[in-house]
Amino acid sequence: MTKKRILRVVKIGGNIVDDASRLDGFLATFAALPSPKILVHGGGKIATQLAEKLVIPQTMIEGRRVTDAETLCVAVMVYGGLVNKQIVAKLQALGCSSIGVCGADGDLMRAHKRKHASIDYGFVGDVETVNEPLIDRWLGQGLTPVVAPLTHDGQGQLLNTNADTIAQEIAQAMSQAFHVELIFGFEKSGVLLNVNDLSSRIPVLDFAAYQKLKSRKIITEGMIPKLDNAFSALKKGVRKVIIGQAENLMELVEGRDGTSIVWEEN
């Protein structure tokens, strides 16, 4: 029986994308990781800044952006265009042969418009399918996919989609063929007991502890969907999930930093 190879799916957020020096440091480490690997990126503040210049009002509900038709145009231009291609160009310069894509390219990721009982999020997508054979072919050709947070519905409509969710869905889809390690890289050292104290990192977080910390309001807001994605990935075949500071990518990969997410504590 053929031994499964390790595939690392790494996600970075806007705080890294927005900071040129931090992004360059992260990409240098990412480029040095052995292949196969996949990078998923968020959008950062550029989309918001462009929307302001174009006088397009932005609406947030419970920390999630409402994507109307004009905001979607901005997201496509920035996420699928400027940010994605800048990252790809930087990786090429580092000797990492990359291909920049969004969910519409090659029918990579299909989604449906989010349904909510009382809130219309606009053109926001929830993922339905991932084209694993296409990703496998890219990886087999030595390419590193760089995935922007956009999907499509199969009927010609692009959809803005959460980057954490895209990383989770890709990791789950590829877990049949690979031992997948999913790494969420952001600006903090990991999941913190006190968001104002960087030394309060939790080295290992299991589901029961997560539920307790959430009920006590110690884990709140943006960390909740990230952790929900992490535990969902573990339930659906992803071998390892780590959350930590993007610039410390090598330490995260080697288990020397960040928060390891596990279903049950050993």
pLDDT in tens, 45-82: 888 888 889 988 888 776 567 899 999 999 999 999 99
* Separation of alpha carbons 238 and 64, rounded Å: 26
219 three-class SS: coil
Q: How many CB atoms lie within 10 A of CB 33?
A: 17
- Of 110, 163, 108, 101, the C-alpha closest to 136 is 108
Q: Are 91 and 31 in contact (CB under 8 A)?
A: yes
Structure confidence by residue, pLDDT tens digits, 208-244: 999 999 999 999 877 888 899 999 999 999 999 999 9
Q: Provide the whole-model pTM.
A: 0.94
Q: What is the per-residue DSSP string for 8-48?
A: EEEEE-HHHHT-HHHHHHHHHHHHHSPSSEEEEE--TTHHH
Show the beta-strand stretches assigned E in the chain: 6-12, 37-41, 59-61, 64-66, 98-101, 109-113, 125-130, 144-147, 150-152, 158-160, 179-186, 204-205, 240-245, 259-261
Condensed to tens digits (0 to 9), the pLDDT of residues 115-149 reads 887 788 899 999 999 999 999 999 999 999 999 99
Q: Which domains does the chain have, with CATH numbers?
A: 6-261 (3.40.1160.10)
CA distance 62 to 65: 8
